[in-house]
Amino acid sequence: MSKLLITWWTWFIWSHAVVELLQAWHQVVILDNLSNSVQEVTEAIFTITWIHPLFEYADIRDIQQVETIFTKHVFDGVIHFAWLKSVKESCDKPFSYYENNILGTINLLRCLDTYNVRNIIFSSSATVYDASSEDAPFEEQMKTGNTTNPYGTTKFIIEQVLKDMAQWRQMNITCLRYFNPIWAHPSGLIWEDPHDVPTNLLPIMMEVLEGKREKLFVFWDDYNTMDWSCIRDFIHVVDVAQAHKIAWENLAKWFNIYNIWTGKGTSVLEMISLVEEVTWEVFPYEIVSRRDGDVSISIAKVARIKKAIGREAQLSITSAIKDALIFRANIYN
């Protein structure tokens, strides 16, 4: 059993990772920014695990506040989700992303170094791959950088800083690059922040099903794919969470990067068909022109993680769709 610091903010992958870690009898301390929706999640985590996770308030941009946590706890390591995560929002608020994600990470690393905590799992992103010079499927050693949005830039820069930490500060670091996580937890109790205005595909599709939106606008134009719509590597959020737990329990020395799963591509139009199969309803959509920054295909090569931990993603896209519907039914009933 380890004692881990979990850093997070707006993306609820952390809550799913906390559930997996608590259920494996690890102790977790969550660095919390007092966001108003955290109360709902802690109650959900308790309902699922019968354990109250421990929260410590700190604004990661303030190193004194972060350091206070290290004077109260002795950690075996940290799982760092690096905070803000919306591609679109990062284009509107780049400085907020640089302050929280990059400055926040530097503050965290200073404290880890000072208090001799040298094991890090970093929740990175497929957006670090240089899609302009490399074709999918993306492999870990392929070119990164030349990012198309501030969110991806922060993840790319953090990876570079962590590589230096491994070399010059003897830290053991594993970066997990995931592609398109889709929610929700099978309990129907945790998902993404329901107060958020969604920008990702599946949450928007859920809002169409709830009648909050008339239809889905499918951003296609003339992509060179089998049905001309974009292809993505969608992965159930519980598989993403379990990958973080397994990565911690198998933490390798020095610096390692793994794509997490699945290596299978699903097009936007195929996602619509899957939702129709689950709901037995025709799903309303309209084809419109491309969205800036979209790449046609983004899927992972997964040989490295399969070799390292000997398993693949366990859950299907259909199960994620069903879990998302259960969550939405719960919060609206």
Q: Cβ closer to ligand WQD: 26 or 177?
A: 177
Binding site for ligand WQD (CB under 6 A): 85, 87, 125-127, 178-181, 199-201, 204, 216-219, 230, 232, 268, 291, 294, 298
**Token pair of 256, please?**
């390692």
CB of 139 to ligand WQD, least distance (A): 17
Residues in the chain: 333
Q: Cβ closer to ligand WQD: 53 or 265?
A: 265
CB of 167 to ligand WQD, least distance (A): 25
Per-residue buried b or exposed e for 193-217, using 16+ beta carbons within 10 Å of the residue's own CB: bbeeebebbbbebbebbeeeeeebe
Q: Does 151 participate in catalysis according to the annotation? A: yes
Q: Given 129, 151, 178, 258, which residue is catalytic?
A: 151
Evaluate whether 244 touches 20 at the Cβ level (below 8 Å): yes
For residue 190, CA distances in Å to 34, 43, 87, 324, 325 come to 18, 10, 22, 9, 12
CB of 181 to ligand WQD, least distance (A): 6
DSSP secondary structure string for all residues of 84-137: ---HHHHHH-HHHHIIIIIIHHHHHHHHHHHTT--EEEEEEEGGGB-TTT-PSS
Q: Cβ closer to ligand WQD: 41 or 201?
A: 201
CB of 268 to ligand WQD, least distance (A): 5
Q: Cβ closer to ligand WQD: 290 or 311?
A: 290
The set of catalytic residues is 151
